[in-house]
Amino acid sequence: MKKIFAELNAFRPELLCVLVSVAAGVGATLGLPTYLSDIINRGIADKDMNYILHTGVIMLGIAILGMVCYITTGFFASRIALGLGRNVRSRIFTKVEYFSQAEIDTFSTASLITRTNNDITQVQNFMVMFLPARYSDSAYHVRGGHHAGLQQKSENVKHTCGVHAGDGADYQPDWQESHAAFQKDADKN
């Protein structure tokens, strides 16, 4: 497997395109829920139809960008896999060409055909699936962790400043007040 991954050095520009398109696609995927929560918290709560429509158009643009990014990812991952298969098949063919008659007799023709076609096709299929999955996994961790950190900072500011949504009529106690009430009830029992 190390030899197969060493072959990927010939495809550095394509690998960079896969990395960038996966990162952008993950950013689009993880960005949409934030806009949806804004629609609910600001647009629906304030009954602001213009805000809902404006944010919906932004979400549509982000979804289209994500779609384009994932199509780009598939395109470049396929190019890498096909180029890798081409190079490996060429090396196998060249190596078999220089076999002596005694070496050719040790392999069956069917075995050589299987190795140059089926086995390399399996490697190509693996690469098409592996590259986007490998990069998207990392991108989800980085982007998701960054997003969670921003959310936590935002929630900390809201709690320390005493900011609550609405005019107070729909006030929902924060988790500390809920926890204190729960503890009080538990202590009674």
Q: What are the tens digits of pLDDT across the range 144-187?
A: 665 566 555 555 444 444 444 444 444 444 555 655 665 666 66
Cα–Cα distance measured from residue 66 to residue 57, given in angstroms and rounded to the nearest whole number: 14
User: Residue with structure tokens 């609405």?
Assistant: 166
- Residue 177: what pLDDT? 61
Answer with the residue of higher pLDDT: 180 or 102: 102
CB atoms within 10 A of CB 11: 20
- Residue 171: what pLDDT? 46
Is the dihedral angle over the CA atoms 32, 33, 34, 39 positive or is it negative?
A: positive
- Residue 67: what pLDDT? 95
Q: Give the mean model confidence (pLDDT) for residues 21-45.
A: 89
Do 65 and 32 contact (CB within 8 A), yes or no? no
Classify 47 in phi/psi space as left (phi over 0), alpha (psi -120 to 50) or beta.
left
State in Å, rounded, how far the first CA of the chain is from the last one. Answer: 62
Answer with the residue of higher pLDDT: 149 or 28: 28
Cα–Cα distance measured from residue 86 to residue 94, given in angstroms and rounded to the nearest whole number: 12
Q: How confident is the model at residue 4 (pLDDT cuts 50, 70, 90)?
A: confident
- Residue 126: what pLDDT? 86
